[in-house]
Amino acid sequence: MSEIKTVLVTGGMGYIGSHTVIALIEQGYQPIIVDDLANSSPEVLNRLKIITGKDIPFFKGNVCDKAFLEKIFSSHKIDAVIHFAGFKAVGESVEKPLEYYRNNLDSTLTLLEVMTEKGVKNIIFSSSATVYGTPVHVPLTEEDPIGTATNPYGTTKIMQEKIFTDYAFVHKDFNIALLRYFNPIGAHPSGLIGEAPYGTPNNLMPYITQVAVGKLPRLTVFGNDYPTPDGTCIRDYIHVCDLADGHVLALKKLAQNPGLVIYNLGTGKGTSVMELIHAYEKATGVKIPYVIAARRPGDVAENYAGTLKAEKELGFKAKRTIFDSCADSNRWQQKNPKGYN
């Protein structure tokens, strides 16, 4: 058993990172945040302080900058790292493949180099269900092969998983958890932090909430002719606070020195696009106007998680419902119609 107290959270000002920082503090850990604020706001730090009552150490900089990272590792006794930092817009990755490969792979390689030099041997990597490619069957389990991703963003996740796997093969004293998230939605129940994408949202929930507050005129549903009960895509939507709890459970697992472990984090249930729209309307009383458009390239009909392994080995089970997620997302957007601005 290795004791884990201080946790470096890269990308800790982002959507999943900031919720995880709260979960860490609630469970008695000391997080240190690193973020270059490329896709997040400095206001997040103020909100985290209001929610947790704690001053959280924050360093502004890029994880690809080795000298910057070395300074942080030298000045703090870090026991573990949770690595969220990375570019994450699927569509943008198709337009800017080089930037995505450079940033996402470089950050992981630099981080592993510095961790090795400083003797820090525990890391959780923020992976994605994207690594499975087009599912041959659902639910997807950790034993399923990781396929070919349909975009450069997904390919960077596959490549990063490969880097960690090859590294773990040689460094048997390293503990690495690869967490494959399904579709995070929702927000902290305080309404103080949530998902605040720059520009037009890529993900369904922030799109719905922006329509709900009148920021966007209507929702576009891509495709209603899929082989699913209502013709729209089915995904596994997990509340971001459940996802955050999963990271804390994974840290506890790393303290047992398990080597390399891989877990799906999802609810184990699929919800269609139309079901999510109706759930939102029911949870909030707000009508969501929508139009049907052609399918988007690369979208798969159905995708949800097999969650038995995470349940058995981590004690992880999503507790919050789709209604909770809709109500929390709505509260966040109503309180912050312009995000953190």
Chain centre distance of CA 237: 12
- Residue 290 and residue 221: Cα distance in Å, rounded? 7
CB distance 268 to 236 below 8 Å: yes
- Single out the catalytic residue among 15, 100, 153, 226: 153
Q: Are strands 234-235 and 271-272 parallel, antiparallel or unpaired?
A: antiparallel
- Known catalytic membership, residue 290: no
> Which one-letter DSSP state was computed for residue 1?
-
Closest CA to 242 of 162, 164, 316, 131: 316
> Residues 6 or more apart from 79 whose CB is under 8 A from it?
2, 3, 4, 5, 6, 7, 120, 122
Question: In this structure, how many other beta carbons lie within 10 angstroms of the beta carbon of residue 84?
Answer: 27
What do you get for the CA distance between the two ends of the chain, in Å? 44
Stretch (H or E) spanning 219: strand 219-222
Q: Parallel, antiparallel, or unpaired for β 80-83 and 183-185?
A: unpaired
Percent helix, strand and coil across the chain, each to the nearest 5: 40, 15, 40
At residue 158's C-alpha, the angle toward residues 41 and 237, to 5°, is 60
Cα 317 to Cα 310: distance, rounded to the nearest angstrom:
8
Catalytic positions are 153
